[in-house]
Structure 1
Amino acid sequence: MTPFENRVEAGRLLAQSLDDYADRQDVIVLALPRGGVPLGLELVRVLKAPLDLMLVRKLGVPGHEELAMGAIASGVRVLNDDVVRGCGITDEALEEVARAEQAELERRAKRYRGDKPWPKLQDRCVILVDDGIATGATMEVAVRAVRAQKPASIVLAVPVAPPSSLHRFAPLVDRIECLMTPESFWAIGAWYQDFSQLNDDQVIAMMREAEELAGEGR
């Protein structure tokens, strides 16, 4: 399997596979920042749907932050009990990490969206997009946060993920669109030639471009 050139190419390919959702009034695309936003922008170019954000933060093990012991979104927390137990994480340590990540969630919400009200998701078709799935902890909390708002359907859209991680989402979403499912999977970035990290200003610029596209479509 050939790696994607970058997130833009991955987004374009993903959009092609989801073109049956184009021009539907009930569709909204929610991207997980930062990495999911370039893909979300490519989806809305094709689907002519609005783009917003699903803010989620990984709860990293203290001292080994790359290892997820869970994730949080607005009002939702998912924990990996095996990691919590295996690493001997105390309740106090867990809450300390959760508080720090909640503060970062709130910072990003203010930075990226200002005072704009959050979209209503009830009875809508929600397409959740990110640049890939590794363990699935972050995406799972995103799915549960969306499901709590009673959408008509949830589509999970990613360019790459291991089959084992996708399997956990089968009962949680209505459709999974994944372009590559390599059995040998060690990191999302390995499936991109360019996996440069994005900054806040880039995210804000992309969200502004998505708003302009939505305005042109009205």
Structure 2
Amino acid sequence: MIFSDRITAAGKLAEALSEYQDRNPLILAIPRGAVPMAKVIAEELNGEMDVVLVRKLRAPGNPEFAIGSVDESGWVYLTEYAEQAGADQDYINREVSVQLETIRQRRAQYTPMHPPVDPAGRIVIVIDDGLATGSTMIAALHALRNKKPAELICAVPVAPPETLRKLEGKADRTVCLSSPLNFYAVGQFYADFPQVTDEEVIACLAGSNRREKE
């Protein structure tokens, strides 16, 4: 399945999640690519949106390759191949520090006027534009599980089968529209896949539905 763009994929995800419409779901995007998608889904489901801040840990010499991830609390997930990729403990400690600083900067930039929306007791749907290794989604689900949502859902347009297997048990439900065997990168499943800028993220969050705080 090829999606024309993120907004089209978001519309299809909203259809797949229609049972949560008008149940005030909290739609949490993993920045940056998923933020415009979460806005669409929140509007379609009549819910609320925010971001969940996690960062991948980059492999030495290969910043596009994830060897793990870190959440906003500092909890670290490492893949089984992190050491094989050349990441010793000193490297991991430095990379975690770098990514935590990025998380702090993004929190200050994205949500300067309000704290993160509390997921406790809520239907929480975590959105990304696709999963490759699944590292950041695993960190996001771990962080949110600790905050006691009523139901925790992972929802993505596309992910390889082996990544979906890694997610088993980490969410109450996983919704994935396409799970191709020949998977190289998320972008190969979009006709139009531009980078989402910080300015776009801020605009989406500023214009999002925050009835509970008004």
Give the Cα–Cα distance (whole angstroms) in 2 for the partners of residues 122 and 209 of structure 1.
23
Are the equivalent residues in 1 in contact too, given 2:59–2:86 (CA < 8 A)?
Answer: no
Give per-residue Cα distances to partners, 1:74-127, cap 9 Å, x unaligned.
Answer: 1221011322x2133222111111111111001111111004112221221110
- Give the partner amino acid of 1:189: G
**Is 1:21 matched up with 2:4?**
no
Once residues 93 and 175 of structure 1 are traced to their aligned partners in structure 2, the CA distance between those partners, rounded to angstroms, is 34
Aligned pairs, how many?
Answer: 212
Contact in 1 for aligned 2:122/2:150 (Cα 8 Å): yes
Partner SS state of residue 207, structure 2: helix
What does residue 154 of structure 1 align with? Answer: 152
Tell me if 1:102 matches 2:88: no
Higher helix share: 1
Q: Percent identity?
A: 36
- Are the counterparts in 1 of residues 39 and 208 from structure 2 also a CA contact under 8 Å? yes
The alignment yields a C-alpha RMSD, in angstroms, of 1.5
In 1, Cα distance between the equivalents of 2:76 and 2:122? 23
Alignment of 1:36-185 (within 5 A): 36-75=34-73, 76-83=75-82, 85-185=83-183
Amino acid at match of 2:88: T
Shift of residue 180, structure 1, vs aligned partner:
0.7
In structure 1, distance between residues paired with 2:30 and 2:197:
13
4+ long deviations beyond 6 Å: none
1:21 shift after superposition: 0.4
Alpha-carbon distance in structure 2 between the residues aligned to 1:18 and 1:81: 32
Distance in 2, Cα, partners of 1:162 & 1:87 = 21
CA shift, 1:69, in A, is: 1.3
SS in 2 for 1:184: coil
Structure 1: gaps of 5 or more residues: none
| Counterpart for residue 4 of structure 1 | 3
Q: TM-score, normalised by structure 2?
A: 0.95
Distance across 2 between alignment mates of 1:63 and 1:73: 22
| Aligned residue type for 1:81 | E
Counterpart Cα distance in 1 of 2:155 and 2:184: 20
* 5+ residue gaps, structure 2: none
Partner SS state of residue 109, structure 1 = helix
Please say if residues 77 and 135 of structure 2, whose CA atoms lie closer than 8 Å, have aligned partners that are also in contact.
yes
Say if 2:126 and 2:155, in contact at 8 Å, map to a contact too.
yes
Q: What amino acid does structure 2 have at the position aligned with 1:22?
A: Q
Q: Alignment partner of 2:81: what SS?
A: helix
Letter in 2 for 1:94: I
Is the partner of 1:82 in helix, strand or coil? coil
SS at match of 2:137: helix
